[in-house]
Structure 1
């Protein structure tokens, strides 16, 4: 009796999902309502020339999956192919018209020379001798696997019977791997959003085309175009907004999404596409799964908590100030001054050094002056920022989501982590990329950025900075969601009112100096 395996992955930490144990699910006996379907009725002159291949009965060999017990069902339009005595791959003349537990297939051709024959299930979109695990899959309702047949599910079996007989039976063994995504969240902002698609990228092919070898009868694999990525769409006519993200624990019935992939050892990067229907903002939450060997005829639970990095709005400072730009009057305080919409302003910003929100005025011409207050003293200096810009392989991501001011936003830049730059020999805090000390002169530079996201294999080498904009010299929020501004720990050595910072937009990264009294983000780089 064939078995379908189930693997559980319950961890919710980024870059740490692994299969932790497997449970063999023995197929139970068919329920009374799971009766065999035989639309051909009584035998007539036409079907006398057909051979019967019985799928199912007590063997539970089906093509859509019941998660609870591992059983598969035959779905409407599921045909089989059988290689006859002449080596011809014959397609069954009939197929189920509804979901059934078992089915009697009628197959043309000659089946007299052997007591066993090779049976193939090639999905619903087969050309008759091949099947492809699709790079574009679609599931219209949660916790439903009826799309397996069009997504690229396939299986093989050996049908056995009596030599020269007219009836053979078989147990289909499914060959792909099945991922079962069950995202959940405690974030109240996300709980009003919907899952519109799941995008999985691998370090190797997870989509594939399999062709029946006419000589050996084996299913030979050949890579498909863009086989390293599969996108499962979860929005459709029955769920136009997608699957809800309303639960704080994994709930397959709420948003269970099933993907068919090629078996093998893969490192997977999963991008959950989430949409806030109220604001129409749609973006991604990225998780990287550790390298795992995914077995055929097996399904794996991917239960991940969807966390968004939240920026509380209190990280805008004048350079090395003792308190943040809107201290005591942040956006969520009892008496807020802080603008939270682009191009809006408030005049209650610090205007002199009698205000603890004012910048550090320390300066000596031509000499390195470093931050001394908590806000900026631990930030990268100008030399270090030059290494991030030049060798950090900056990659713009206009879709990665984050929250601040109580709402959902997107847009930012991926950079290689400090540990990666050090390992590659591209990091030195005592000098810039050109061999000069950028802290003691008016050095700077600008670099183009990539529009390609980090690969699944490299994703763990990068960290993300959101495009949080800045507050201008006059308390106005500018370029929020499109540009990133990040203070360094270095004052300018050429101008007493300037300090070094890193700036980026979707096209470039720049390291230079600007006015110390601007409200710019302070963030320790990874």
Structure 2
């Protein structure tokens, strides 16, 4: 992440007061100058505030050149001799490099005056860094004024001239999102929005005190999150579906997106919303940024290599089998017909283990009722036992995630569950290998199920940005039943290392879906996932 100060660029807006002022055009500006107004220059009731072309700060930014512009509807406010906050009577009608503002009131009694830019939606009594931004095209900052850009300054009299000059200090910080990807699946997708969540407020309403000139912060609803929409709502427009993700290196012109945030020290979670318009699958790719101080008047390059986690198809097993469910028929072999491993829900193949002569068949060991029967083969022996899984269910604060994208066996999916990590549960005193979550039952020798269907599971909320490092994610990878694939993207099934103590055909497993999480038992011949929990 690179940061760039606007000290020599964004904050150097020199606006001069005067009844008449002549200025030359700047060779670097490629936007037509517009210094006209509806008021005559000789109107003695108005003072002319000229945003001269020798400056580089306006209210939108050209990322590549460093040039800045005034946008349509940008007004300024100035405190006059009577302490009244006066709003300019005019504003640009299009994007311009310079503009003559006309402001009512008298400006003769003092050698300095307070000047404010309060954004496009301000009535002069407040300014708001909004929780919603909208950018209709890449590398476009015209939305800064509505998103919450604001600035303050003191205008000082120029010696020997009937003029005042100031440098506008822009107060927010600015994030420049620069996503790219080498994943060919994502090259056909579009960036539809960028969602940023923080451990503290990044959106804010500032109440403006026209007497003292102070901007006093007051919290706004959902101030810890800002959503930037990256679509043009005009039907048929180039960016109607969003910004393209065709670039394998950062490119501000391809999909550069800008956000205004409250300066300060923040832990940020950035969720890039990506949509495959062909399949209508839309989900998120998440990046967690460590605590960083974001300074006012500074912009930060948020380069992000977008990739989705891929989960292989080789970790489905019957319980404690010696070989994986599709050994010899893996989907990567691209076998013809329905002979190989199914990769889509509700497709099937008959080439799965159907007797104990096949090393892919489950472990049939059963020493008797009430006797612990742990897995002995590599596939399952190191998995959490049933007791351990019960602690994840009851104390792991499970959160269903409808949106995080991932791939398996060549297809894009979403859906999974967040759980607290083992180390976190241990630190909280909520983990035990010998006893289950009730503190007295050993599931390895006693039949019992644990079900957690609390409302927090299905509220589609993620762990907070500050806490997400305490959690791990399990995708809903479904299962195989008699050679048919079921519920990828909807349910997760993960074997434990513990056979069921009351039934020779069952073994304990973790199951989860959108509405609940449970430790239960499944037939040993089912193809569930295996893997050590984080």
Aligned to 2:252: 252
3-state DSSP of counterpart to 2:390 = helix
* Partner Cα separation in structure 1 for residue 106 and residue 5 of structure 2: 41
Pairing partner for 1:455 from 443, 448, 464: 464
Question: Cα 1:44–1:157, aligned 2, differ >3 Å: closer, same or farther?
Answer: closer
SS at match of 1:408: strand
Asked whether 1:428 is paired with 2:452, we answer no
Among 509, 514, 517, the alignment partner of 1:501 is 509
Query: What SS does the aligned partner of 1:350 have?
Result: coil
How far is 1:215 from its partner? 2.3
Query: Residues 353 and 99 of structure 1: is their aligned pair in 2 closer, same or farther, counting only changes over 3 Å?
Result: same
Match status 1:150 vs 2:154: no
Aligned residue runs from structure 1 range 9-408, under 5 A? 9=2, 26-27=8-9, 31=28, 33=30, 36-40=33-37, 43=40, 47-161=43-157, 167-236=163-232, 237=234, 238=237, 239-335=239-335, 336-365=339-368, 366-408=370-412
Pair 71,232 (structure 1): closer, same or farther in 2 beyond 3 Å: same
- CA shift, 1:385, in A, is 0.2
Aligned match of 1:519: 527
Q: Distance in 1 between matches of 2:419 and 2:462?
A: 10
| Higher deviation after alignment, 180-189 or 167-176 | 167-176
Q: CA RMSD in A?
A: 2.0
Deviations 1:114-138 (A, max 9, x none): 1211111111111222111111101
TM-score where L is the length of structure 2: 0.90
Deviations 1:434-486 (A, max 9, x none): 222111221221011422321111111111111111112x2222222111100
Cα distance in 1, alignment partners of residues 220 and 273 from structure 2: 24
CA distance in 2, matches of 1:377, 1:331: 26
Q: Which runs of 5+ in 2 are unaligned?
A: 13-25
Q: Tell which deviates more after alignment, 317-326 or 50-59.
A: 50-59
Q: How big is each residue's C-alpha offset from its partner over 1:331-353, in whole Å with a ceiling of 9 and x where there is no partner?
A: 23142422223223222221111
Deviations 1:139-184 (A, max 9, x none): 1111111110111111112222269986433322211010011111
Q: How many residues align?
A: 506
Offset at residue 34 of structure 1 (A): 5.7
Residue 412 of structure 1 is matched in structure 2 by 416
SS of residue in 2 equivalent to 1:267: strand
* Alignment partners' CA distance in 2, 1:478 and 1:266: 41
| Contact in 2 for aligned 1:36/1:100 (Cα 8 Å) | yes
Task: State the partner residue of 1:18.
Answer: none
What SS class does the counterpart of residue 304 from structure 1 fall into?
strand
Cα separation, 2, equivalents of 1:36 and 1:385: 68
Q: Distance in 2 between matches of 1:457 and 1:32?
A: 43
Structure 1 portions without partners, runs of 5+: 1-7, 10-20
